[in-house]
Amino acid sequence: MTKFLSRWLVMTIATGVMVLLLPGMTAVGKPPIMGIAAFALFMALINASIKPLVRMLTLPLTIITFGLFALVLNWFFMSLASWLAIGLFGVGVQIHGFFWSIIGTIIMAIVSSVVTAVIDH
């Protein structure tokens, strides 16, 4: 449970940085951190549960497309997390297009790596 909570914290920080840097990402909710935290919660849940299985099942398609299908999967998971957070809690992060989700994925990966390295040391 502690590992999941720390992963959620890292994901919340990464999502916050992503929303601050990208005009194509909008935090929904008052205060905006509630939307960011809700989105990060669903991203952490998706990453821990269905993402590994879906990646394994779609590995042949990802190899055939030279990894481009992984971008589509990331967009789908971000859109799913956004839809769940806004639909269930009324707060979340709106993603304004496929391009922004690609840039957002890159930012979240970099920030998550840095924050995880700082926390682990």
Within a domain: 4: no
pLDDT at 1 over 80: no
Number of domains comprising the chain = 1
Within a domain: 3: no
Within a domain: 35: yes
* pLDDT given for residue 100 in this prediction: 95
Exposed/middle/buried for 102, CB within 10 Å: 0-12, 13-18, 19+? middle
Query: Which residues span the domain enclosing 108?
Result: 10-120
Strands (E), the chain: 25-28, 92-95
Within a domain: 60: yes
CA distance between the termini of the chain: 20
* pLDDT given for residue 120 in this prediction: 81
pLDDT at 24 over 80: yes
* pLDDT given for residue 62 in this prediction: 92
* pLDDT given for residue 119 in this prediction: 85
Query: 54-107: per-residue pLDDT in tens?
Result: 999 999 999 999 999 999 999 999 999 999 999 999 999 999 999 999 999 999
